[in-house]
Structure 1
Amino acid sequence: MAAKKILMLVGDFVEDYEVMVPFQMLLMVGHTVHAVCPDKKPGDFVRTAIHDFEGDQTYSEKPGHRFTLNASFAEARAEDYDALVIPGGRAPEYLRLNPKVLDLVRAMAKAGKPIAAICHGPQILAAAGVLEGRPCTAYPAVGPEVTEARGKFVDIPVDKAHVDGNLVTAPAWPAHPDWIAKFLNVLGTRIEL
């Protein structure tokens, strides 16, 4: 397997599991992962939020950990990466307001590179205009945005993921085993036990 270079877009109050788990798992299988955030530099951190499903009408939110960035958003160019990961949480709601974030996502989508987005991550894909005609899933509250962006919202169990060509999406962190396995398959990553 040739190691891939993967860009991960994060921001303050990214969901804790949705940044930590894929970052560590992708490194564990031998890929390079650059976690970046606009207006922050390598060594800076973003605060995370822990979203949980505790029987309320929506998820609960608690303070999470500090996640340290290891690359520069200002230097990130789509052509330097093989794939893109967009975790959820609250970060996507403000990252999608950054024109440079949207340009980077559009360039990666136009190049047909593998893109994995989970939970609220598809908010960025919708804002970038790259979901038209594409079936994908997200946290159910993001479904109307997927539809408004002319995507086809796929309502699946919270522990499952959906694949449409190069696009791998999931509703929330309980889907990590399925989401990451499907993303690794799209990447062409083979794990021998």
Structure 2
Amino acid sequence: MKKVLFLTGDYTEDYETMVPFQMLEMVGYEVHTVCPDKKKGDIVKTAIHDFEGDQTYSEKPGHNFVLNYSFDDVDITEYDGFVIAGGRAPEYLRLNTKVLDMVKYFFKEDKPVAAICHGIQILTAADVVKGRKLTAYPAVGPEVTMAGGEFQSIAVDGAYVDGNLVTSPAWPAHPSFIREFLKIMGATVTI
């Protein structure tokens, strides 16, 4: 069974944690959800970001998401893929050097990485986007460019693939985001 490391944190976007976690478990992956300074059984509070015609998304309280693995117990070499949720959590998770080292490991080993929305802030902080094409929530686009990446402006329900990296602007992209991540993980879905 393939194992996926799933990074999330307090005030992560609710759908960007709940939905990919459930979809990846549904196809049979063992998914370890983690957050620095938290252990198995701890919760992260989520926020629901919605697109209601304002200049940016609105934010509402989400659910409590229970972590199923302890951050300090992670042996990064055991994982086949890495998923980074968006929301507000990435703005503080990117300050954690162990998180940045995890990201660097996956890129060095050319293992599949998927990041959505503001999750791309962790990639830019880890200095792994130089020369890569990727997307993010549009407000993160300048960070991608400053980090040496080539920001791709795509539809909110799209996904962009560059080698081992899958990125998407926001949660409306879940079908394409997860489909493309499954492809780079080597999965095939037949109906």
TM-score, normalised on structure 2? Answer: 0.98
Structure 1 spans left out of the alignment, 5+ residues:
none
Q: Following the alignment from structure 1 to structure 2, what is the Cα–Cα distance between the partners of residues 167 and 77?
A: 21
The answer for the alignment partner of 1:55 in structure 2 is 53
Paired residue secondary structure (1:189): coil
Query: Where in structure 1 do 4 or more consecutive aligned residues deviate above 3 Å?
Result: none
Aligned to 2:139, the other structure's residue is in SS state: helix
Q: How does 1:9-20 map to 2 (within 5 A)?
A: 9-20=7-18
For structure 2, the 5+ residue unaligned runs are: none
What is the distance in 1 between the residues matched to 2:72 and 2:126?
18
- Partner Cα distance (2:111, 2:70) in 1: 20
Tell me the alpha carbon deviations over residues 44-63 of structure 1, each in whole angstroms, 9 at most, x when there is no partner.
00000000000000000000
Distance across 2 between alignment mates of 1:116 and 1:56: 27
Alignment match of 2:124 (pick from 100, 123, 126)? 126
Identity %: 66
What do you get for the CA RMSD once the two structures are aligned?
0.7
- Distance in 1 (alpha carbons) for counterparts of 2:139 and 2:5: 25
For 2:106, the equivalent position in structure 1 comes to: 108
> 2:77 matched to 1:66?
no
Write the letter of the residue equivalent to 1:8.
F
Tell me, yes or no, if the aligned pair for 1:86 and 1:116 is still in contact at 8 Å: yes
Cα distance, 1:104 vs structure 2: 1.0
Q: Return the offset for 1:77.
A: 2.5
- Could you tell me which residue of structure 1 aligns to residue 171 of structure 2? 173
2:107 and 2:21 mapped to 1: Cα distance?
20
Check the 8 A contact 1:129/1:149 in 2, yes or no. Answer: yes
Kindly provide the CA deviation profile for residues 83-132 of structure 1, in whole angstroms up to 9, marking residues without a partner as x.
00001000000000011110111111111010000000000000000101
Aligned positions, number: 191
TM-superposed deviation, 1:76: 1.3
Q: CA deviation at 1:192?
A: 2.8
Local SS of the residue matching 2:37: coil
